[in-house]
Chains A and B, each alone.
Chain A
Amino acid sequence: MPALLANPDAQFVLWALIKIVVILFGLLGVVSYLTFAERKVAGHIQARTGPNRVGPFGLLQPIADVLKLFFKEEFIPAGANKVVFHIAPMLAVIPALVTFSVVPMGPNFTVTDLNVGLLLFLAMSSLGVYSITLAGWSSNNKYALLGGLRSSAQMISYELAMGLSTVGVLMLAGSLSLVDIVHAQQRYWFIVQQPLAFIIFLITAFAETNRAPFDLPEAEAELVAGFHTEYSSMKWGLFFLGEYANMITISSIAVTLFLGGWNGPWLPEPLKFLWYFAKLAALLFFFMWVRWTFPRLRYDQLMQLGWKVLLPLALLNVMVTAVGLWWAVGR
């Protein structure tokens, strides 16, 4: 055993595993408390209190929810494709968690500094389409199928605008590595130079995570429950968790790309990660605020917005950034 530990490869793997376990457990804890935060925020926006019975100020609510979900009976519909039915919820959570391995939370606080980190984020958001499509299809239920197909069409449409909106940041930073992008924002944040890209990224973030006002695929009033109609107990819990994990991941990327990551005044180096968490919390609050403020977009309005408005705007942003860079630097 000591001989194995002395091997530098084994050390690398062990260190990576420790970082992964710490961040994973931290993230799962934050995700469950995010559901609680959402319910509190929703309550206050709707002039009521939200959960406050379970534990002091309702803080033990997520634990109660998880326990309830574990004890619920699990239904598997009769004609469902069992294997795909089982793995679809897992596929919802995995891409969101994997993206977290490249997000820089502090000056030396990344699981890994991949030099194509931004592309990894885009790749994982592309893979996130599968869980919803497969969930909808494997449930052997026409409402679920409709919800699944609608949602995947929505996600792939907005993926393009999202990718293009990050190209402006990429040009300014000159690197695909998220750590380099944060370092490039030490003087001022990229939102100053790329406001349009930030707005486009936020709107596409709402669409990618299937959050209101783009949550038609899981519209409770319209499609029963959309693609997760047939899911019960912990599988549904995984979808729910996946949605919030996705929200956290996309907010982290938005903070990294546009809001300066862990950069901020007044704090010493080891405490800079607090800036990251503060910005992340603000953006997550914005997500929840928007959900309970805007009405849902109809499907054709949604597609029109994605293809006819956001995509041309993102392209325009890329062109303007390119011309601006040439004017300022390359001439």
Chain B
Amino acid sequence: MIPLLFAAFAAVLVASSLLVILHRNPVTSALFLVLAFCSLAALYLLLGAEFVGMVQVIVYAGAIMVLFLFVIMYLNLGHDVEGGVQTTLRRGLGWVVGAVLVAEGAMLLARGMALGPETPQSPPPPGGNTGAIGLLLYSRYLFPFEITSLVLLVAMVGAIVITRGRTTPAGPARAAAPRAAAPRAAPPATPAAGPPGTEPAGAPAEEVHA
């Protein structure tokens, strides 16, 4: 049964990834990406990594893709219109590169390289997958864990600084920018709006309701 489930979720993953890059409408691409992430989470569950699977749904499908959707809706993008000989040539080359990569991977795997020695399966650890990850994370990987929190802090501050820009207009260049056509691109958000969020989604959301 597990190979059957694996085949089903793998098929959904590959199909939705293909549709992500093939669809003309960015919103549809984003929705297919959400589907891809959810099927990937199901694959993680099959591989016994349930904590990682749930975090995948919470972080990737539930937060990062919401952020993507916010930005796509905020920018009010329509269908992508691309055409011409140069585009077709470039596209052809792109697909060739992709095909080459897959062929390489298949060839290496068929010859058994990159697989490493076979190890027997160990029983699930006491306290479950989550407990074991917690033990590792707070002992051997404590330093990277703390550095990651710094990375998130920097990203938070950076995202807000980048979208907020300067509090005073920088001069004629700013005034000449096509602001009339984009009434929603308001200057710094209202002071009553929330403070820097602990979620990356804080910045675009702040802009949207400004």
Chain A interface (Cβ < 8 Å from any Cβ of B): 9, 81, 83-84, 114-116, 119-120, 122-123, 126-127, 129-130, 133-134, 137, 145, 149-150, 152-153, 156-157, 159-160, 175-176, 299-300, 303-304, 306-308, 311
Contacts and interface: CB of A to CB of B under 8 A. Distances in A.
B12 interface: no
A115 B57 CA distance: 16
Interface of B: 1, 25, 27-28, 31, 34, 50-51, 53-55, 57-58, 61-63, 66, 69-70, 73, 128-130, 190, 192-195, 197-199, 201-202, 205, 208-209
Contacts of A300: 190, 192-193
A84 B128 CA distance: 38
A149 B198 contact: no
Contacts of B34: 130
B73 A304 contact: no
Contacts of B63: 126, 156
Contact of A137 (B27, B54, B66, B201): B27
Given A116-B54, A130-B34, A160-B199, A299 B209 contact: yes
Contacts of A308: 194-195
Contacts, number: 101
Contacts of A84: 27-28, 31
B195 A156 contact: no
A156 B68 CA distance: 13
Nearest to B55: A119
Contacts of A123: 54, 57-58, 61-62
Contacts of B31: 84, 134
Contact of A157 (B28, B58, B197): B197
B79 to A, nearest CB: 11
Given A126-B57, A149-B205, A308-B194, 14 more contacts: A9-B1, A81-B27, A115-B128, A116-B53, A116-B129, A122-B54, A126-B58, A153-B208, A157-B199, A160-B199, A176-B130, A300-B193, A307-B197, A308-B195
Contacts of A145: 73
B194 A119 contact: no
Nearest to A177: B128
A303 B193 contact: yes
Contacts of A119: 51, 54-55, 58
Contacts of A152: 66, 70, 205
State the majority secondary structure of interface residues on A.
Answer: helix
27 contacts: A9-B1, A81-B25, A84-B28, A115-B50, A116-B51, A116-B53, A116-B128, A119-B51, A119-B54, A122-B54, A126-B57, A126-B58, A126-B66, A127-B57, A130-B69, A133-B69, A133-B70, A134-B69, A137-B27, A149-B73, A152-B66, A152-B70, A153-B208, A157-B205, A160-B199, A175-B128, A307-B194
B202 to A, nearest CB: 8
Contacts of B28: 83-84
B198 A160 contact: yes
A314 to B, nearest CB: 11
B57 A156 contact: no
Contact of A127 (B1, B61, B73): B61
Contacts of A126: 57-58, 61-63, 66
A84 B73 CA distance: 14
Contacts of A150: 209
Contacts of B130: 115-116, 176
Task: Give the one of A115, A122, A123, A150 with max B CB within 10 A.
Answer: A123
A116 B55 CA distance: 10
9 A-B pairs with the lowest CB-CB distances in the bound complex, closest first: A126-B62, A119-B54, A123-B57, A153-B205, A307-B194, A300-B192, A303-B194, A9-B1, A115-B128
B73 A156 contact: no
Nearest to A155: B66
A119 B61 CA distance: 14
Nearest to A308: B195
A115 B126 CA distance: 12
Nearest to B124: A115
B66 A156 contact: yes
B66 A122 contact: no
Given A149-B73, A156-B205, A304 B66 contact: no
A145 B75 CA distance: 13
